[in-house]
Amino acid sequence: MTTTRTVLTIAALTLREASRQRVLLALTAMTVVLIALSGWGFSRLAAESGGTLTSGEALLTASILLNLVMFGFSLIAALGTAFLAGPTLAGETESGIALSVLARPIRRSAFLLGKWLGLVAFGSGFVVLAGLAQCLVVRATVGYWPPQPAAALALLAAQTTALLTLAVLLSTAVSPMASGVVAVGLFGTAWVAGVVGGIGASLGNASVERVGTVSRMLLPTDGLWRGAMHAFQDPTALLRLGDEGGQAFPFLSAAPPTPSYLAWAALWVAMVWGLAAASFVRKDL
C-alpha cells in the first residue's frame, strides 16, 4: 500500500470514527439550538424594521448579530474539534490501538497525517455546513446575504484547522483532556487579546494595540476569525461606527486579512504540524 493510499485510508477511518462519537451529537444539538434562537432573533429584527433591512441601523444590527452567532459556531467548532483531537490520537495511544496499527509497515508521520486530515475534514465540514445554514436562516428571515459568504466560511474552516492542529500537537505530549482544555483556553486567550488590541487601536495606543498583533501571530485563530467577520458583515455597517469604533467593537472587523497574513497562517499550521509529527515519532508507545 502506497503512503498516499495509507494516509487517505486512515483519514477516512478517522472521519467515520468521529461521526460516530457522541461529540457529533453534542455539536449537532448545540448547532440546532443556536440556529433556532438566532432565527427567532432575526425574525424579531425583521418585524421591528418592517420586514426588510433598509435602514443603516438595521444593517448594523444585522451585521453584529450575524457575527455574534458565527462566533458561537466557531466556539462550538473549537470545543468539538479540540476535545475530539485528544481522544482520537492520545486515547488510541494509551489504549494500545495505535501500537497495533503501527506494528505494520506504516510510518508514524503517515499515521498522524491521516488522523489530522480526517479531523480537519470533520471540523471544517461542520463549520461550513453550520455557517451556511445560518446564512440561509438570515436570508429567509431578514433578506440579508453576506457580501463574501464563501470567503467567510473558508476562513472559519481555516480557524478550525489551526486550532485543531494545535490540539493535535498538545495531544502528543499531554493527556487527551488536558490537550483539549489547553487548546480551548489558548483560543479564548487569543480572542480576548484581539479585543484588547482593537481597543488599543481605537484609542491610538500602540502598546495596547501590539497585544492583539502579537497574539494573532502566535496563534492565528483570532486573525482568521476577524477576516471571517469582515466577509460576513455589511460594508455600510462599519461606516456607521467609523474606523475607530469598528476596531474597538468585538463583533465587527475593520479590514480583511492580508495575503501575507494568510500565508503566515498556512505556514504556522505547517510548522505546528511538523512539531506534532516530530513529537509523535519520538513518543514512547
Q: Is the dihedral of CA 42, 43, 48, 51 positive or negative?
A: positive
Q: Identity (one letter) of the amino acid at 104?
A: R
User: Cα Rg for the chain, rounded, in angstroms?
Assistant: 20
How high is the pLDDT of residue 266? 96
Residue 25 CA: distances (Å) to CA of 18, 28, 50, 59, 282: 10, 5, 37, 34, 34
Place of cell 470545543: 79
Of 1, 21, 16, the residue nearest 106 (C-alpha): 1
pLDDT score for 265: 96
Burial of 275 (0-12, 13-18, 19+ CB in 10 A): middle
- Section 256-267 average pLDDT: 95
pLDDT in the model for residue 242: 60
Asked if 210 and 185 touch (Cβ cutoff 8 Å), the reply is: no
What pLDDT score was predicted for residue 97? 53
Average pLDDT over residues 48-57: 62
Instruction: Name which residue leads in pLDDT, 59 or 51.
Output: 59
Label residue 51 left, alpha or beta by phi (over 0 means left) and psi (-120 to 50 means alpha): left
Q: In Å, how far are 82, 111, 232, 237 from 275, measured between CA atoms?
A: 17, 15, 33, 41
Task: Rounding to the nearest 10 degrees, give the CA dihedral for residues 232, 233, 236, 239.
Answer: -130
What are 102-127's pLDDT values in tens digits?
555 677 788 888 889 988 988 888 89
* 8 Å CB contact between 122 and 27: no
Quote the pLDDT of residue 222.
92
| Residue 133 confidence (pLDDT) | 92
Provide the greatest CA pair distance for the chain: 66
Residue 158 has pLDDT above 90, yes or no: yes
Whether 80 contacts 23, CB under 8 Å: yes
Q: At what angle do helices 108-142 and 22-48 cross, to 10 degrees?
A: 20
User: What does the pLDDT average to over 166-189?
Assistant: 85
CA dist., res. 272 & res. 149, Å (int)? 28
pLDDT digits (tens, 9 = 90+) for 12-28: 878 887 777 677 788 88
pLDDT at 142: 82
pLDDT surpassing 80 at residue 39 = yes
Question: In terms of pLDDT, which residue wins out, 281 or 212?
Answer: 212
CA distance 47 to 58: 11
- Residue 175: pLDDT over 90: no
